[in-house]
A and B are shown apart, each in its own frame.
Chain A
Amino acid sequence: MQCLMGQSRREAHENLAIAMNRIGGKSNSGEGGESRDRFIPSENGDSRNSAIKQVASGRFGVTSHYLTNAKEIQIKMAQGAKPGEGGQLPGEKVLPWIAAARNSTPFVGLISPPPHHDIYSIEDLAQLIYDLKNANREARINVKLVSEVGVGTIAAGVSKAKADVVLISGFDGGTGASPLTSLKHAGLPWELGLAEAQQTLVLNNLRSRIVVECDGQLKTGRDVAIAALLGAEEYGFATAPLVASGCIMMRKCHLNTCPVGIATQDKDLRKNFKGTPEHVINYFYYVANELRQIMAQLGFRTLAEMIGQTHKINSNKAIQHYKAKGLDLSSILHRPAEYRKMSLRNSEKQDHCLENVLDMKILKVATAAIEQGTKTSLSYPIHNTDRSLSAILSNEISKRHGHTGLPEDTLTLNFKGSAGQSFGAFGTFGLTLNLEGNTNDYLGKGMSGAKIIVKKPPTATFVAHENIIVGNVCLFGAVNGEAYINGIAGERFAVRNSGAIAVVEGVGDHCCEYMTGGNIIVLGNTGRNFAAGMSGGTAFIFDPESKFVNGLCNTETIEFEPIEEEEANAQKLNRKSC
Chain B
Amino acid sequence: MGKITGFKEYERKDETYTKVKKRLKDYKEFTVPLKKDEIEEQGSRCMDCGIPFCHSGCPLGNLIPDFNHMVHQGEWQKASWILHSTNNFPEFTGRLCPAPCEQACVLGIIEDPVSIENIEKNIVERAFKEGWIKPQPPKTRTGKEVAIVGSGPAGLAAAQQLNRAGHTVTVFERDDEIGGLLRYGIPNFKMEKEIIDRRVAILKAEGIIFKLNVNVGVNYEVEKLKAFDSVVLCGGSTERRSLPTPGIDADGVVQAMDFLTQQTKVVMGKIVENQVVATGKDVIVIGGGDTGSDCVGTSNRQGAKSVTNFEIMPKPPGHRSPQTPWPYWPLQLKTSSSHKEGCDRNWLINTKEFVTDDNGKLIALKTVNVEWKTELGKRPELIEIEGTEKTYPCDMALLALGFTGPEPTIANQLGIALDVRSNYKSEYGNYKTNVPNIFAAGDMRRGQSLIVWAISEGREAARQVDIYLMGSSILPTKEGGDLPLLGDRT
Chain B residues numbered 229-249 whose CB sits less than 8 Å from any CB in chain A:
none
Q: Quick check: A249 and B110 within 8 Å, CB to CB?
A: no
Q: Which of A202-210, A254-262, A324-332 contacts B (4 or more CB under 8 A)?
A: A254-262
Minimum CB–CB distance from A293 to chain B (whole Å) comes to: 14
Q: Quick check: B51 and A248 within 8 Å, CB to CB?
A: yes
Minimum CB–CB distance from A222 to chain B (whole Å) comes to: 15
Chain B residues numbered 313-335 whose CB sits less than 8 Å from any CB in chain A:
none
Chain A residues numbered 241-266 whose CB sits less than 8 Å from any CB in chain B:
248-252, 255, 257, 259-260, 266
Give the nearest-CB partner of B49 in chain A: A250
Q: Which of B4-12, B14-22, B256-264, B427-435 contacts A (4 or more CB under 8 A)?
A: B4-12
Residues of B within 8 A of A250 (CB): 47, 49-51, 106
Residues of B within 8 A of A268 (CB): 8
Give the nearest-CB partner of B7 in chain A: A259
Q: List 20 A-B contacts (CB under 8 A).
A: A248-B49, A248-B51, A248-B53, A248-B109, A249-B50, A250-B47, A250-B50, A250-B51, A250-B106, A251-B51, A252-B4, A252-B50, A257-B5, A257-B7, A257-B8, A259-B106, A259-B109, A269-B8, A269-B110, A272-B110
Minimum CB–CB distance from A172 to chain B (whole Å) comes to: 15
CB of B107 closer than 8 Å to a CB of A = yes
User: How far is B5's CA from A257's CA once the two chains are assembled, in angstroms?
Assistant: 7
Give the nearest-CB partner of B327 in chain A: A248
CB of A176 closer than 8 Å to a CB of B = yes
Residues of A within 8 A of B51 (CB): 248-251
Give the nearest-CB partner of A271 in chain B: B110
User: How far is B106's CA from A251's CA once the two chains are assembled, in angstroms?
Assistant: 13
Residues of A within 8 A of B50 (CB): 176, 249-252
Q: Which residue of A252, A259, A266, A272 has the most chain B CB atoms within 10 A of its CB atom?
A: A259
User: How far is B49's CA from A257's CA once the two chains are assembled, in angstroms?
Assistant: 11
Minimum CB–CB distance from A220 to chain B (whole Å) comes to: 14
Minimum CB–CB distance from B142 to chain A (whole Å) comes to: 32
Q: Quick check: B107 and A259 within 8 Å, CB to CB?
A: yes
Residues of B within 8 A of A269 (CB): 8, 110
Q: Which 10 A-B pairs have the closest CB atoms?
A: A251-B50, A272-B110, A250-B50, A249-B51, A249-B50, A250-B49, A257-B4, A255-B4, A259-B110, A248-B106
Minimum CB–CB distance from B115 to chain A (whole Å) comes to: 17
Residues of A within 8 A of B7 (CB): 257, 259
Given A259-B7, A268-B8, does the pair A252, B109 have CB atoms closer than 8 Å?
Answer: no
Residues of A within 8 A of B5 (CB): 257
Chain A interface residue bracket vs B: 10 to 19
Residues of A within 8 A of B109 (CB): 248, 259-260, 272
Chain B interface residue bracket vs A: 10 to 19
Give the nearest-CB partner of A255 in chain B: B4
Q: Quick check: B110 and A257 within 8 Å, CB to CB?
A: no
User: How far is B110's CA from A266's CA once the two chains are assembled, in angstroms?
Assistant: 14
Residues of B within 8 A of A251 (CB): 49-51
User: How far is B64's CA from A505's CA once the two chains are assembled, in angstroms?
Assistant: 65
Residues of B within 8 A of A248 (CB): 49, 51, 53, 106, 109
Minimum CB–CB distance from A142 to chain B (whole Å) comes to: 30
What's the dominant secondary structure at chain A's contact region?
loop
Residues of B within 8 A of A272 (CB): 109-110
Minimum CB–CB distance from A217 to chain B (whole Å) comes to: 16
User: How far is B443's CA from A264's CA once the two chains are assembled, in angstroms?
Assistant: 45
Minimum CB–CB distance from B239 to chain A (whole Å) comes to: 41
Q: Quick check: A257 and B47 within 8 Å, CB to CB?
A: yes
Minimum CB–CB distance from A187 to chain B (whole Å) comes to: 20
Residues of A within 8 A of B53 (CB): 248
B-contact bits for A161-176, CB 8 A (1 contact / 0 none): 0000000000000001
User: How far is B53's CA from A477's CA once the two chains are assembled, in angstroms?
Assistant: 44
Minimum CB–CB distance from A9 to chain B (whole Å) comes to: 15
Give the nearest-CB partner of A268 in chain B: B8
Q: Quick check: A252 and B8 within 8 Å, CB to CB?
A: no
Minimum CB–CB distance from B68 to chain A (whole Å) comes to: 15
Extra pairs beyond A250-B106, A251-B51, A252-B47 (4, CB < 8 Å) = A176-B50, A257-B7, A266-B8, A269-B110
Minimum CB–CB distance from B66 to chain A (whole Å) comes to: 16
Chain A residues numbered 19-41 whose CB sits less than 8 Å from any CB in chain B:
none
Residues of B within 8 A of A252 (CB): 4, 47, 50
Minimum CB–CB distance from B356 to chain A (whole Å) comes to: 56
Minimum CB–CB distance from B220 to chain A (whole Å) comes to: 48
User: How far is B106's CA from A437's CA once the two chains are assembled, in angstroms?
Assistant: 65
A-contact bits for B26-62, CB 8 A (1 contact / 0 none): 0000000000000000000001011101000000000
Minimum CB–CB distance from B149 to chain A (whole Å) comes to: 41
B-contact bits for A217-252, CB 8 A (1 contact / 0 none): 000000000000000000000000000000011111
Residues of A within 8 A of B8 (CB): 257, 266, 268-269
Residues of A within 8 A of B47 (CB): 250, 252, 257, 259
Residues of A within 8 A of B106 (CB): 248, 250, 259
Minimum CB–CB distance from B206 to chain A (whole Å) comes to: 40
Given A248-B49, A250-B49, does the pair A260, B4 have CB atoms closer than 8 Å?
Answer: no
Residues of B within 8 A of A176 (CB): 50
Residues of A within 8 A of B110 (CB): 259-260, 269, 272
Minimum CB–CB distance from B365 to chain A (whole Å) comes to: 46
User: How far is B299's CA from A283's CA once the two chains are assembled, in angstroms?
Assistant: 53
User: How far is B106's CA from A272's CA once the two chains are assembled, in angstroms?
Assistant: 12
Residues of B within 8 A of A266 (CB): 8
User: How far is B110's CA from A272's CA once the two chains are assembled, in angstroms?
Assistant: 7
Minimum CB–CB distance from A255 to chain B (whole Å) comes to: 5
Residues of B within 8 A of A259 (CB): 7, 47, 106-107, 109-110
User: How far is B7's CA from A348's CA once the two chains are assembled, in angstroms?
Assistant: 56
User: How far is B51's CA from A257's CA once the two chains are assembled, in angstroms?
Assistant: 15
User: How far is B360's CA from A268's CA once the two chains are assembled, in angstroms?
Assistant: 65
Give the nearest-CB partner of B53 in chain A: A248
User: How far is B4's CA from A249's CA once the two chains are assembled, in angstroms?
Assistant: 16
A-contact bits for B101-119, CB 8 A (1 contact / 0 none): 0000011011000000000
B-contact bits for A261-286, CB 8 A (1 contact / 0 none): 00000101100100000000000000
Minimum CB–CB distance from B342 to chain A (whole Å) comes to: 38
Minimum CB–CB distance from B159 to chain A (whole Å) comes to: 38
User: How far is B49's CA from A251's CA once the two chains are assembled, in angstroms?
Assistant: 7
B-contact bits for A54-90, CB 8 A (1 contact / 0 none): 0000000000000000000000000000000000000
User: How far is B49's CA from A259's CA once the two chains are assembled, in angstroms?
Assistant: 10
User: How far is B51's CA from A449's CA once the two chains are assembled, in angstroms?
Assistant: 47
B-contact bits for A312-353, CB 8 A (1 contact / 0 none): 000000000000000000000000000000000000000000
Q: Which residue of B4, B7, B106, B110 has the most chain A CB atoms within 10 A of its CB atom?
A: B110
Residues of A within 8 A of B4 (CB): 252, 255, 257
Minimum CB–CB distance from A539 to chain B (whole Å) comes to: 38
User: How far is B4's CA from A251's CA once the two chains are assembled, in angstroms?
Assistant: 12
Give the nearest-CB partner of B47 in chain A: A259
User: How far is B485's CA from A408's CA once the two chains are assembled, in angstroms?
Assistant: 67
Minimum CB–CB distance from B289 to chain A (whole Å) comes to: 31
User: How far is B256's CA from A158's CA once the two chains are assembled, in angstroms?
Assistant: 78
User: How far is B109's CA from A176's CA once the two chains are assembled, in angstroms?
Assistant: 20
Residues of B within 8 A of A249 (CB): 50-51
Minimum CB–CB distance from B335 to chain A (whole Å) comes to: 27
Minimum CB–CB distance from A262 to chain B (whole Å) comes to: 12
Minimum CB–CB distance from A381 to chain B (whole Å) comes to: 62
Q: Which residue of B50, B51, B107 has the most chain A CB atoms within 10 A of its CB atom?
A: B50
Minimum CB–CB distance from A283 to chain B (whole Å) comes to: 15
Give the nearest-CB partner of A253 in chain B: B50
Minimum CB–CB distance from B489 to chain A (whole Å) comes to: 12
Minimum CB–CB distance from A12 to chain B (whole Å) comes to: 15
User: How far is B5's CA from A259's CA once the two chains are assembled, in angstroms?
Assistant: 10
Residues of A within 8 A of B49 (CB): 248, 250-251
User: How far is B415's CA from A388's CA once the two chains are assembled, in angstroms?
Assistant: 88
Minimum CB–CB distance from A385 to chain B (whole Å) comes to: 54
Minimum CB–CB distance from B347 to chain A (whole Å) comes to: 30
